[in-house]
């Protein structure tokens, strides 16, 4: 007689998915906690966004239209490529998750110069030259209560097993470490818009740099106090 009982088997796809989710979560935690080693390099904001969108299209569900606006201004930034790409991907994850059925997700990049009067009303902003990337969706939007907590670590409105509540908080962590900030606007039933501002990497005039290098050095005596609870970060 042949037994019809079968032993429970763990799917290799399940193992691969669990490992991928764990790796993403650890990377996000390390980014948020400032313990992940970053390698800043000169990058085109639009180039990174376009490449991320191109890769992400493979996982977009039917009914969701994902597009990126043509670049009118090509700004460069000096950040870690993996961290920037992960931040944009997290915004795409949130945008797609917010759409129930059919909807649109649009990505836009560009440059913006902010003056002191323009930033006076927002304590998170600073005057200067910035590159930005915006992700807009036509999803369900957020209530005022959810909007107030959206960037808190592990806060999520998603059901168990669907992504993690570290998306916006890790985006916030990366952007603030890069010297920028995040603008978040949402209205229930109308969608959400998230914009990351990162200081623009403006090329230094070669003659000015040479003059500065040849200037006589002035001895400076100073003390620096470093306060950090994490030993590895303190050593850095």
Query: Cα separation of 14 and 227, whole Å?
Result: 42
Residues above pLDDT 90, as percent of the chain: 40
> 53 vs 145, which has greater pLDDT?
53
Query: Cα separation of 32 and 130, whole Å?
Result: 22
Mean pLDDT in residue range 107-123 = 89
Residue 23 pLDDT > 90: no
Q: Band of the pLDDT at 185, cuts 50, 70, 90?
A: very high
Residue 186 pLDDT > 80: yes
The SS3 assignment for 4 reads coil
In this prediction, residue 217 carries a pLDDT of 59
Query: Cα separation of 75 and 91, whole Å?
Result: 20
Beta bridge partners of 195: 134, 183
Please write the tens of the pLDDT for every residue from 151-168. Answer: 776 666 655 445 554 568
Q: What are the tokens at 169? A: 């908080």
Residue 218 pLDDT > 80: no
Q: What are the tokens at 1? A: 């007689």
In this prediction, residue 194 carries a pLDDT of 95
Mean pLDDT in residue range 137-141 = 93
Query: Cα separation of 147 and 184, whole Å?
Result: 8
Please write the tens of the pLDDT for every residue from 83-92. Answer: 999 999 999 9
Beta bridge partners of 134: 108, 195
Whose tokens are 């193992």? That residue is 15
For the whole model, what pTM was predicted?
A: 0.68
Residue 50 pLDDT > 80: yes
Q: Sign of the CA dihedral 123, 127, 131, 134?
A: positive
> 149 vs 64, which has greater pLDDT?
64
Whose tokens are 């039917």? That residue is 62
In this prediction, residue 166 carries a pLDDT of 53
- In whole angstroms, what separates CA 107 from the centre of its chain? 13
In this prediction, residue 230 carries a pLDDT of 72
């Amino acid at each position: 007689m042949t037994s019809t009982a079968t032993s429970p088997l763990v799917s290799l796809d399940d193992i691969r998915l669990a490992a991928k989710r764990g790796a993403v979560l650890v990377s996000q935690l390390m980014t948020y906690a400032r313990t992940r080693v970053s390698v800043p390099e000169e990058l085109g904001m639009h180039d990174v966004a376009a490449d991320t969108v191109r890769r992400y299209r493979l996982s977009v569900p039917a009914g969701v239209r994902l597009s990126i606006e043509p670049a009118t201004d090509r700004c460069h930034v000096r950040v870690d490529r993996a961290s920037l790409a992960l931040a944009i991907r997290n915004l795409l994850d949130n945008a797609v998750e917010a759409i129930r059925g059919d909807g649109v997700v649009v990505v836009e990049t560009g440059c913006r110069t902010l003056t002191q009067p323009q930033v006076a009303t927002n304590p998170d902003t600073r005057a200067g030259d910035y590159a930005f990337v915006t992700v807009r969706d036509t999803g369900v939007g957020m209530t005022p209560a959810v909007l107030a907590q959206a960037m808190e670590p592990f806060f999520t409105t998603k059901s168990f097993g669907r992504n993690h509540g570290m998306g916006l908080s890790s985006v916030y962590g990366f952007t603030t470490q890069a010297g920028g900030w995040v603008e978040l606007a949402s209205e229930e039933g109308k969608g959400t818009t998230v914009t990351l501002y990162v200081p623009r990497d403006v090329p230094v005039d070669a003659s000015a740099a040479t003059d500065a290098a040849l200037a006589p050095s002035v001895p400076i005596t100073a003390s620096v106090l470093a306060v950090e609870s994490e030993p590895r970060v303190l050593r850095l």
